[in-house]
Amino acid sequence: MNKYSMSLLAAATLVAGAAQADDFSIGGGLDYMYSDMDGSAQHVNRDFSSNSLWTTYVDFRHPLLMVPNVNFQATDLSSDASGFDNKLRTYDFAFYYSPLELDTLTLNTGLNFRRYDGTLNHNHDYSNDAIMLYGAAETQIPGTDLGAFADARVSHWDSDHSHDWKVGVSYVVFPDDILKLKLRAGYRNIRVNYNEDSVQLDQHMDNWFLGAELRY
């Protein structure tokens, strides 16, 4: 985790130095979802316990046409069942462009590089990297502080059919402040399909989520 965070901060520093202050934007947020989980682990269908899922994210945007924006997301996808325990975190780095950017609508598209980092049954550490497609959209309802958003990370290569997508609504608190607070609520759907390092996971979870974001 440390080396990824350091790389992200270094990239942000370079972008900040090249961009004008009025065009540079940085935001960070936290989402929470309490969800049931179904599926299999180690080729056995299991009765997984319900878990709290926390996601933190940081988003960097700038005006440089040839340099992608960066979105970093970290999610705790740990699971447990009778005789089974899996501590799993995913770290997502999305590098994206905004082919459409209007006052009330923004569309983003790019590639997401995912890092799986887990420990199975307290004694087997595993990790792997994956490439996913990334897309996002955000709109603001004219004349209000309400908006809607959607984003997705999807892979469909060989044995990896993972996805993580969400849709929701947002409300900007104190919209005239330089530091804007945005409250978020929506629906999230996650599938983890992992077959590496003698670890097999095919797990699905979905539910409503709540979150908050600060953006400068």
pLDDT in tens, 67-122: 999 999 999 999 999 999 999 999 999 999 999 989 899 999 999 999 999 999 99
- Record the pTM: 0.86
Mean pLDDT in residue range 170-197: 94
Does residue 57 contact residue 73 with C-beta atoms inside 8 Å? yes
- What residues contact 166, with CB distance under 8 A and at least 6 apart? 150, 151, 152, 186, 187, 188, 189, 209
- What residues contact 215, with CB distance under 8 A and at least 6 apart? 25, 26, 27, 28, 59, 179, 180, 182
CATH fold of 2-215? Porin (2.40.160)
Task: Give the percent of the chain with pLDDT over 90.
Answer: 81
Q: Is 53 left (phi over 0), alpha (psi -120 to 50) or beta?
A: beta
